[in-house]
Homo-oligomer: A and B are copies of this chain.
C-alpha cells in the first residue's frame, strides 16, 4: 500500500546514478545521510555542485582543472620531454598514483570507435599532434587501454607521431605483478611469451 512519492524516495532514486549502487545500497545510503550524517550530506551536495560548476578541461591536456591550464601542466618540476597519452581523466589519476611518472599528460577523452562514429577528427588527433610537436616533447608514451579500441587508437597515434620524428612507446603487456599463471588468462600468457624480455 504505497503512499505518495516523497523527496526521500527521490533521494534514493538519485543515489542510484552512482556506479555499483543498487536499490538496497541506495536506501541504506539515504537513511545513513539523513539519520547519521547530515553534515556529510550537505558537504557532498556542495562538493558536487562546486565540481560541476568549477571544473573545466585543461587547455593543454584536457584533464579536469579549475584553471585554464591545470596545475600539473603548469608545474615546472615536471618533465616536459615526456607526454603520456590516456583515454580518460580517471586513467590519468591511476597513473599518477603509481608515483612512478613525472612527465606531462594528454587526455584523449575517449578512443577510436568507428561503429560509434568516433574517428580521428572527433578525438581531435591534430590537437594532440600539435601538443606533442611543441619542441619540448621527445617521447610519447601511449597508455590507452589494452582493449580492442585502445589498441587501435594506440597504433593509429603511433603511426602519426613517429612520422613527426617523435619516440613513441607503449606500456608493456603481460602477467600482472603478483599474478599466478594458473589464474591468468590464456591470451595474456600467450602475449607474455611473445613479448618476453631477456634477463640481464
Contacts and interface: CB of A to CB of B under 8 A. Distances in A.
Interface in A1-43: 1, 3-4, 6-8, 10-11, 13-15, 17-20, 25, 27-35, 37-38, 40-43
Contacts of A51: 7-8, 10-11, 30, 33-34, 41
A17 B43 contact: yes
Contact of A3 (B28, B32, B71): B71
A55 B71 contact: no
Number of copies of this protein chain within its complex: 2
B3 A34 contact: no
Identify whether the interface residues of A are mostly helix, strand, loop, or mixed: helix
Given A1-B102, A90-B27, A44 B7 contact: no
A162 interface: no
B18 A72 contact: no
A88 interface: yes
Number of contact residues on A: which range applies?
35 or more
A69 B72 CA distance: 54
B35 A42 contact: no
25 contacts: A1-B78, A1-B102, A6-B65, A6-B71, A7-B50, A7-B55, A8-B55, A8-B64, A10-B50, A11-B50, A14-B47, A17-B33, A17-B40, A28-B90, A31-B89, A31-B90, A33-B48, A34-B51, A34-B55, A34-B64, A38-B52, A41-B51, A41-B52, A42-B52, A45-B46
